[in-house]
Amino acid sequence: LVDEESIFDPLTQITGLTVADLQEKGILFEEARTRVKEIIADSIVVGHALSNDLEWMRLKEGIDFRESKDICDLFKSFNSKYGNYNYFSLAQEAYALLRVRHVYPHAPEDDAALTMRLYQEHCKHHPSLQRARETLKRHRYRRLFPLFPRVEKPNICSFKYNEKECWCG
């Protein structure tokens, strides 16, 4: 996927792609956007922190696709002590709910597969979703999550849901 103006950063550490790869084999943003719109036209789009991707692709619910389901929002739990919501990373959700250690964070195929599995197994039915929230909350309060590797992305803030670490505002 090539932006017409410039390639800011292909996130080589995550994608394995280089600027040269994109210049040689990439497609223009508008062409990719058109293809994506054709694929998802009458679909329910499922993702994790989905608003980021939809905003970047300039896609609108009810216009470009039927409906969205963001498991990040579905799994959030209210923290009565601080009067705010706790959000969980995809790695935390996979660990607590699927007993899967997410080894390659932000690898698109792995993220998509885990997101769909979490949605299918824990979000489609209200009782399952409530149990999942309770499990995630219990893991957080009992400090049962292991340390997950962080992928450093220069000039990109990955902490939208973590005020202490967010530097983009």
Q: Which residues of the chain register pLDDT less than 70?
A: 1-8, 104-105, 149-169
Positions of E strands within 26-99:
44-47, 67-70, 77-79, 84-86
The gap from C-alpha 147 to its chain's centroid, in whole angstroms, comes to: 18
Q: How far apart, in Å, are the Cα atoms of 18 and each of 24, 29, 73, 107, 158? A: 10, 17, 32, 15, 21
Q: Look at residue 30 in the predicted model and tell me its pLDDT.
A: 92
CA-CA distance, 67 to 61, in Å (whole number)? 6
Indicate whether this model's pTM tops 0.75.
yes
Q: Look at residue 50 in the predicted model and tell me its pLDDT.
A: 92
Specify the DSSP element, H or E, that contains 152: none
